[in-house]
Amino acid sequence: MKTRYEMLMEVKKYYPLYIMKKSFRLLMVYMSGYSKCLVELFAGTEDFLSDAYKFSEYVFKHFKVKNDRHNWKEVVLFESHTDENAFDVFFELVDNFMNAFPEMREKENVLQSKYHKLQLNPDLEKVTPGNDYRTTINIYEDLRKDLGKT
């Protein structure tokens, strides 16, 4: 599995294969699903770009917007005027963010290493989910038990 950042870069390059057209909205939906997959497989809680709060602050500052009413995705979409343009603007922001904060690149390298090792040798590091970690399978099994269909 690729990290969220790696997947973003792949979608940027080959977007017709993943989301059919340049669309910020479709990209965000795709990445949301990809993030869910990473959580299910690796019990990972890392957000794409490793530090989502820092990225959202970067977006608000870039567009000179107060962050009390909107999330960064709404701001990118609004400031870009079109969904297709927002796709390009988003990737410009990601590139600029990664260049402005070299520590994010290092965090991404650590995540890449972790995910790639797990992919090559799943027994290398067993992740023990905490009590609050729930997979879709766990929830489905609980629902079956509640309905008396075990």
Can you give the residue ranges of every domain in the chain? 4-146
Two structure tokens written together for 11: 């979608």
Cα distance between residue 66 and residue 95, in whole Å: 22
pLDDT per position in the chain (150 positions), as tens?
677 888 899 999 999 999 999 999 999 999 988 878 777 776 655 555 545 778 888 999 999 988 667 789 999 999 999 999 999 999 999 999 989 988 887 787 777 777 666 665 555 444 444 444 455 555 556 656 666 654
Model pTM score: 0.72
17-22's contacts with Cβ under 8 Å and 24+ in sequence apart are 21/84, 22/83, 22/84, 22/87, 22/88
CB 82 within 8 A of CB 34: no
- CA 123 to chain CA centroid, nearest Å: 25
